[in-house]
Amino acid sequence: MLGTTITLAFRAIARHKLRSFLTTLGIIIGVAAVVTMTTLGNGATAAVREQISSLGANILQLRPGQGFGRGGGGPRPPDFEPDDITAIANQLTGVRAVAPQASTSGIAIYEGSNWNTTVNGTTAAYFEAQQWKLESGRLFMPEEEEAGKPVCIIGSTLKNNLFRQEDPIGKRFRIKGVSCQIIGLLSTRGQGGFGNDQDDVVVMPIKFVQRRFTGNREISLIMVAVDDAYDSAAVQDSLEQLMRERRKIKPGTADNFNVFDTKQISDTLTGTTTILTQIVGAVAAISLLVGGIGIMNIMLVSVTERTREIGIRLAIGAVAREVLLQFLVEAVVLSCLGGVIGLGLALVASLAIAPLMQVPFIFDLRINMLAFLFSAAIGVVFGYFPARRAASLNPIDALRHE
């Protein structure tokens, strides 16, 4: 009986193709909107997580001042000393790597080509903390760091703009009037957490940068990589306590440094984008309810148009349950067709919009299945009342209907 009922439902839908399409339009738009918004939201969440993780996995960034700036209205907070690096590495538990950083910028020149880039002075621990591998070449040798040799490791952006198709390893170029030999090429990372190009960089031994560029031994940033087996919040508390002691900050006095936890920022931004995705998905889901109301209205019209047909079926022996099932199946078939078309549109829209938003396309089978099942449920819920009305018709009154 169920097979016959489904066949009759498809025949009834095929008799009024345009009306059936318009009936399912609300479901199509609802499913497409929910799945597209959720897919793009998941892609945006993944993009945020990737950009934040590009700052370094589970890293504490220690800076002077009470924010990214140095604050205002008071004396300039002191930078960090080289001894601070040794103290952090030797006295804190759960620290995987500690890397100082002194930064500047300058124009790099090679055989008539020039490019304005960032110069980071640091140690080999920087690459361990950032988990940044080399595409070719090698890292700094301990003796090169100790002596502050003019050697450098460059990013792919600088390589592409200065050397193009040439192998840069072993080549020399000038930056801020200083000659530097390239010993390594970094693997490509792309945009960072704040829109900066991470590959547009020259990494040199910190002593060389301090001696030739900054003119002092001060350190503007310390990167502390936390071991994954330890709680970064506990390590951060220990780090703050140690720095208060070393910088001789009295109890009750505000810190003249700040610790930026990339993991906490990642969790916060990921949670925010997830909530926004859920809100947008919930708003889009309202159109599914509107589509369900549309199905109910059209099914009521269908019951009125086919009242005489219903009376004939009841008069020749059909029971109310069979009539109810027929109209209920029609409603469910309409909503399922709308769900399938909506999923197809969502797939096409997501594939088209994701590159424009510069977010990855992440296909989530669970979301697609939930949207389809919800569309089927809409057909059951909103199709039951018209089906019940058809099943409750009196055969004699139905046969008299004109």
Give the pLDDT score at 193.
Answer: 52
What pLDDT digit, counting tens, does each position of 242-257 carry?
999 998 888 888 888 8
Question: Taking a C-beta distance cutoff of 8 angstroms, is the pair 246, 87 a contact?
Answer: yes
Q: Using an 8 Å Cβ cutoff, are 180 and 171 in contact?
A: no
d(CA 364, CA 35): 9
Question: What angle is formed at CA 240 by the lines to CA 238 and CA 242, rounded to 5 degrees?
Answer: 70
64 phi/psi in degrees, rounded to 5: -75, 150
Instruction: Report the share of the chain in percent with pLDDT over 90.
Output: 25
Looking at every residue in the chain, the average pLDDT score rounds to 82
As a whole number of Å, the end-to-end CA separation of the chain is: 29
Whether the predicted model's global pTM rises above the 0.75 cut: no
Burial of 66 (0-12, 13-18, 19+ CB in 10 A): middle
The top-scoring range by mean pLDDT among 88-92, 194-198, 363-367 is 88-92
Residues 177-192 have pLDDT tens digits of 899 999 999 998 876 5
The alpha-helical segments, DSSP class H, found in 171-261 are 206-209, 232-246
User: Between the CA of residue 156 and those of 133, 135, 165, what are the distances in Å?
Assistant: 12, 9, 11
Q: Other C-beta atoms within 10 Å of 193: how many?
A: 18
pLDDT higher than threshold 60 for residue 240: yes
For the stretch 333-367, pLDDT in tens is: 888 888 899 999 999 999 999 888 888 888 888 88
| Tokens of residue 246, six digits | 């070393």
Which helix (H) or strand (E) covers residue 186, if one does? strand 178-186
pLDDT at 54 over 70: no
Contact, 237 vs 224, CB < 8 A? no
- Please classify residue 240 by burial: count the beta carbons closer than 10 Å to its beta carbon, then call 0-12 exposed, 13-18 middle and 19+ buried: middle
